[in-house]
Structure 1
Amino acid sequence: MSSKSQQLSQPKLLIGEGSEEVLFFKALLNYLKITDVQVENYGGKQGLGNYLQQLYLRPGYREIVSLGITRDADDSAKSAFDSVCSYLKNAGLSVPIKPNEITGNNPQISVLILPDYQDNGMLEDVCLEAVKTDPAMQCVDDYFQCVNTVAKRQPKTKDMAKARIRAWLSSQIEPDKRLGEAAQAGYLPWNSPAFDSIKQFLQSL
């Protein structure tokens, strides 16, 4: 069933870039015991505009009181935020002045730019910060150092966080889980301060 026709069954809506984000946020919401948030993905960065344009056609839209939008900063937190704001404006929705600011009503709008509203990066950077004290991370560091030394190659800088979190995930008892699945399985330490800003965002929806 297309998301365009799916019922909006909760008063709050949280949207992320893809399916991994959906699994991640559902797991964290469950940890926080927040039950009134529906989580969906908007089909990648380029899909956000169409998602927002079609949102008002969805059954249950008039009952939505809060919309939270999440996006990776990638190369620029400012550019990522500006892009989200442009899509919001084009869809006739309220536009916040800065990330993590609540604006408008019915629905109120807030935007989370990962990893921390200001630095370049992505969700994987937050997760790496959360697991940095795991002894396996030394092995991850050694692995990439070895590959760089022996094979004379390494992931591009923009892809390093994804590569490192995948290496860490491969150290788990079930090594084939992707990040969202790992979140669902309880591999991530939700009590880590690294997740505090995300928790605050979710609790403010």
Structure 2
Amino acid sequence: MPSIPTQISKPKLLIGEGFEEVLFFDALLSHLQITDVQVQEYKGKQALASYLRNLPKVSNYQQVISLGITRDADDSATSAFQSVCASLKSAGLPVPTKSGEIAGTSPQVSILILPDGKNSGMLEDVCLAAIETDPILQCVDNYFDCISKTTGRQPNNMAKARIRAWLSSQIEPDKRLGEAAKAGYLPWDSHAFNGLKSFLQAL
């Protein structure tokens, strides 16, 4: 199913894989008091090319001066970056040469591969780095050690598992990561978010 962008209302557009990213980046933009960036989802890695090809058809696209694309590195930051670049090329948009770089004009285009443009991982890894001094994380790790010893297995995505266990320890334990960001659970002043902040401020 093609990914269709929604109506554009601001001069800068930031797009992420899913609704979780929309909530997360909306919260961080609010913290930074950045008001001229609209956040949308492209509904998954495989849908990015379709989203970008459909973007010029959206009302007010001509007003967009900056387009930022975020994506998890997963197993390889290089492969993730190359995939985003291929989607940009197929849509006839400027193609940066590395994560964090700006290419082109009207709109300028930039890519941020999470967690840091170099290593494997995802948004959850950035958040885990931000809360690394929280003593609750030791409890979380003890929990997974117990699970491993008891069952002989571990979650296949430890970053997601650890952040969800940490979230479940909060006063309201049912919030997802994006909702938790909106609720102010994350320490935005952590150095772990510096790369994300710089990317957003450069849009």
TM-score range for the pair, normalised by the shorter chain length: over 0.9
CA contact under 8 A between 1:5 and 1:59: conserved in structure 2?
A: no
Measure, in 2, the Cα distance between the counterparts of 1:204 and 1:121: 23
Q: What is the alpha-carbon root mean square deviation over aligned residues?
A: 1.1
CA contact under 8 A between 2:5 and 2:54: conserved in structure 1?
A: no
Moved over 4 A (4+): none
Measure, in 1, the Cα distance between the counterparts of 2:5 and 2:201: 27
Describe the superposition over 1:119-139 as per-residue Cα deviations: whole angstroms up to 9, x where unpaired.
000000000000111110010
Measure, in 1, the Cα distance between the counterparts of 2:162 and 2:173: 14
Measure, in 2, the Cα distance between the counterparts of 1:45 and 1:103: 21
Match of 1:129 in 2: 129
Match of 2:173 in 1: 175
Gaps of 5+ in 1: none
Q: Aligned in 2, Cα 1:3/1:11: closer, same or farther, shift over 3 Å?
A: farther
Letter paired with 1:26: D
Tell me the number of residue pairs that the alignment of Structure 1 and Structure 2 aligns.
202
CA contact under 8 A between 1:124 and 1:161: conserved in structure 2?
A: yes
CA contact under 8 A between 2:65 and 2:107: conserved in structure 1?
A: yes
Match of 1:114 in 2: 114
Measure, in 1, the Cα distance between the counterparts of 2:5 and 2:179: 26
Identity across matched positions, percent: 66
Measure, in 1, the Cα distance between the counterparts of 2:37 and 2:111: 15
Match of 1:202 in 2: 200
Q: CA deviation at 1:5?
A: 6.6
Which SS does the other structure have where 2:57 is aligned?
A: coil
Measure, in 1, the Cα distance between the counterparts of 2:106 and 2:8: 14
Which SS does the other structure have where 1:13 is aligned?
A: strand
Letter paired with 2:198: Q
Q: CA deviation at 1:4?
A: 3.6
TM-score of the superposition, structure 1-length normalised? Answer: 0.97
Match of 1:88 in 2: 88
